[in-house]
Amino acid sequence: MKLVLVEWLDSNAVNGWHPKQQFQNDGISKCQSVGILMKETPKEIALVLNLSGELWSDAIYIPKSCITRMRQLEVKEK
């Protein structure tokens, strides 16, 4: 089991009427996700946040083309 920190880029949307300046300052969202790496293919990774026996919950699939950095986190046992 690998616990990882993933830095990735996502699209961003602005709804409603706003001054022109806001649209020039907004852009791509820089995201960070931490989870258990459950799947990795040439095109994507899957992170899962919760495990209980054979049950998993709260998964996110991130295209590898959006990932800017991924590193494994060290888990220290008490």
The reply to whether 46 falls in a domain is yes
- pLDDT for residue 44: 98
pLDDT score of 14: 78
Domain membership of residue 78 (yes or no) is no
Q: What is the pLDDT of residue 74?
A: 92
Task: Report how far residue 14's alpha carbon sits from residue 23's, in angstroms, rounded to the nearest whole number.
Answer: 8
Q: How far apart are CA 32 and CA 17, in angstroms?
A: 28
The list of the chain residues with pLDDT below 50 reads none
| Per-residue pLDDT at 76 | 83
Q: Token digits for 39?
A: 């799947």
Domain holding 38, by residue range, is 2-73
Cα–Cα distance for residue pair 17/58, rounded to 1 Å: 33
Phi and psi at residue 16, in whole multiples of 5°?
Answer: 85, -175
Q: Tally the domains of the chain.
A: 1
Record the tokens describing residue 33, joined without a space: 């996700």
- Residue 43: the pLDDT is 98
